[in-house]
Amino acid sequence: MPLSPTDDIVRSAAEGGGGVGAFNVVQLEHAEAIVAGAETAARPVILQISQNTARYHRSLEPIALATLAVARASSAPVAVHLDHAESADLVRQAVELGFTSVMFDASKLRYDENVAATREITAYCHARNVYVEAELGEVGGKDGAHAPGVRTDPDEAQAFVAATGVDALAVAVGSSHAMLTRDAVLDFALISRLRDAVSVPLVLHGSSGVGDAGLIKAIEAGMTKVNISTHLNKAFTHAARTYLDAHPETADPRKYLGPARDAVAAEVARLLEVLS
């Protein structure tokens, strides 16, 4: 089926009081697995390609075209999203390729510079019917907004959304990127205050570090889009390693990438049930 607009998927989840899973694609097997999981769960899904992944593939276009093709062949509603883009040129390339949304990350800039850069990107994307997510404060595993006591301020979030016109906002509420354990402690009261302060859906980055119960409670408190990457990479790598440990003579990568793909598909299907 045609790609689904990110706006339609996220708005529908928000109106229904549920969440939507947004999972990162690193290579073709990830895209295939995520879509297979969505089809199994009969749930919509968002495929995400990060700036780091584009850099890994030496260009956005090869992995983007493959991911877009997988998405368009799905029987489930699928959107394709550019994640953590710090480059305006990369945003423009994603829009030209047909991405349904972008996440522009100017969070390393001063607040006024973040507002100005994000407002410019938002105007460009809206003129082309592309949904825009932004970040206020650094939501990453490098201290930043995850240093002790640092969280997104609801009043600042409200002003930022009004000044930039973004469609969704990633906020710092206690999660952190690249966590290998699922024991992050979220500030659910802050999530509720942020939900009441801003008029757009909230996005939880670093959700790999949040357990199932925490994800459910975060959605109940006001989160809508839930980004997960490292958790799936762990499942992928564990399945590949298990196969190679049992078959050390293997040379054909399809032999171990297949089970890895299947493991991710199963976990995506399970997580989509949790999030909805």
Residues marked as catalytic: 83
Helix runs in the chain, H state only: 6-15, 28-41, 51-56, 60-72, 88-97, 111-126, 154-164, 188-197, 212-221, 230-246, 253-275
Give the 3-state secondary structure of residue 180. Answer: coil
Rounded Cα gap, residues 25 and 13, in angstroms: 22
Give the 3-state secondary structure of residue 48. Answer: strand
Rounded Cα gap, residues 3 and 73, in angstroms: 9
Query: Which residues, listed in sequence order, are joined to residue 83 by a DSSP beta bridge?
Result: 50
